[in-house]
Structure 1
């Protein structure tokens, strides 16, 4: 049915005024224009809407039924217009942000604090995402609503393929360090490398980006890690390392997630390639929203302060 807001508004004015002339006066039309609007509305509805009684008109049963819906539509239209006309301070724009453990711990609070100062009308709502599925979180799919922005990870040693329509915004680059129980990491590059080859390890599975990147970093450093414990959760990995169950890799953000008494040492890789990048993933269409751009700016400034 192809009726318009103006036709529905004419129907309501006619019901309130009772005559074509009264409706025309209320709307600023001519009586002929009111008649044309109602003829078009009846054609769109596919059934008679009015009955003439002298100069007055009354609504048919179908006209009354359509009127009830028309008033709801017109009220919703008025609320939308009022919302757009309101001062910026009175508006609310919701931005959904996918987060994962270490990045959320370090970045969510400062980001929302910046937004409260800069744009208090922007309401950021966090949604936990599996960091391995951060890209999926911002891409529309059957049966799911995409997030506006998601924090994710980019591993140079295990890069993700680009996805059309999704921008990757770099936020922070971190170096991995070897983490082990107190006294488990000797000094000196060769002594450390020998210890890393002899020790048990706690690493993520090989079918994860971090798992692949960790093993590539170890191989480049001349280390073949003996993976005894397969763990994806950062806090669990650090707890196992602290207990002496094995060595693991972690970045400053990961170490900040859980207080630990572990020793740390740089990965003995002369290329310095053992690293990860915290990124923001955003659809190109979502990035056109002012509120989303403000969130991206706040994320950028927050993580800039965390850079060494």
Structure 2
């Protein structure tokens, strides 16, 4: 059905006033123009809209049905036009942000708080996405912007039309069994301990698993991987229980606070939290506002500390 908003507006006035002449006077049209619009509208629907009632026109059942829906459509059009023509600060937008565990826990609250002050009509919708599929979710426009990862020893390849911005960089930490606390002040002894202990790492076919093994190689450690665990909290809990060493980062430790001893991984391996977004999406004021809020969140003591 191919009608126009102009036809629906005229139809509504005709229905309210009862004659095309009266509608023409109210709208500032000629009676012929109103008649043409109603003929075009009638031609776009399969059932008669009008029935003659002397000099007046009455609506058929189909006409009354169309009138109800036309009122809704016209009101929605009015609201949309008012929103788009009004001050930008009054236009509400929801931005879908892809998140994963440690980044979501650290960044969402300060980012949302920043937006309330800087862009109160922009809202964040957090969407959990596997960090390994985050770039694809951006490419497929399933999310507007994402918190992703990049490891210094296993960098992500660039994607056409996608840009990334580093938000935060943090070192790898070895989470040690309680019995290893005595080695913390003696780096050579700690390195020897790490080379002769069991390890808890993610599988090698995961992004984090590969990054862990590259970090170990950079530090001169050959981990004896006895336990394959993907969940960060479980890995830390197992290390705390004494069955082996695992790797984490300061933000990851926020998922499972522990009293287990920790030490910075030798070799200066690190990971970066990055904002990933299609370059075309940055043309949207709302997406830029959310990216700025994420930058603010990761520069605040609430995240870094």
Report the counterpart of residue 17 of structure 1 in structure 2: 17
Counterpart pick for 1:195 among 193, 196, 199:
193
Find runs of 4+ consecutive structure 1 residues off by over 6 angstroms: none
Deviations 1:133-190 (A, max 9, x none): 32344343xxxx7222221211232333333343322211111122202341634444
Contact 1:99 1:151 in 2 (8 A): yes
SS of the aligned residue for 2:9 comes to helix
Aligned with 2:283 (options 281, 288, 294): 288
TM-superposed CA distance for 1:275, in Å, is 1.1
Q: Show the counterpart of 1:164.
A: 160
Mapping of residues 35-74 of structure 1, within 5 Å: 35-46=35-46, 48-53=48-53, 55-74=55-74
8 Å contact from structure 1 (residues 181, 261) kept in 2: no
Give the C-alpha shift of residue 201 in structure 1. Answer: 0.6
1:70 CA displacement: 1.8
Residue 128 (structure 1) aligns with = 128
Tell me how many residue pairs correspond in the alignment. Answer: 301
CA contact (8 A) 2:179 2:242 kept: no
CA distance in structure 1 between the aligned counterparts of 2:255 and 2:62, rounded to whole angstroms = 64
What residue in structure 2 maps to residue 299 of structure 1? 294
* Cα deviation, residue 88, structure 1: 5.5
| Aligned counterparts of 2:46 and 2:125: Cα–Cα separation in 1 | 45
- Counterpart CA distance in 2 for 1:33 and 1:203 is 76
Shift of 1:25: 2.1
Offset, 1:53: 4.7
Structure 2 counterparts to residues 259-298 of structure 1, below 5 A: 259-269=257-267, 272=268, 274-298=269-293
TM-score (norm 2): 0.88
Q: Which range moves more in the overlay, 160-169 or 70-79?
A: 160-169
Aligned pair 1:155/2:145, yes or no? no
Unaligned runs of 5+ in 1: none
Q: Which runs of 5+ in 2 are unaligned?
A: none
> Structure 2 CA distance, aligned partners of 1:267 and 1:108?
28
Counterpart Cα distance in 1 of 2:135 and 2:211: 18
Once residues 199 and 304 of structure 2 are traced to their aligned partners in structure 1, the CA distance between those partners, rounded to angstroms, is: 28
Write the deviation string for residues 246-286 of structure 1: whole angstroms up to 9, x where unpaired: 111111112233321122223222xx3x1111012223343
Question: Equivalents in 1 of 2:279, 2:20: separation in Å?
Answer: 49
Cα deviation, residue 220, structure 1 = 2.4
Q: Distance in 1 between matches of 2:252 and 2:103?
A: 8
Whole-angstrom CA distance in 2 between matches of 1:89 and 1:294: 12
| TM-score when normalising by structure 1 | 0.87
CA RMSD of aligned residues (A): 2.5
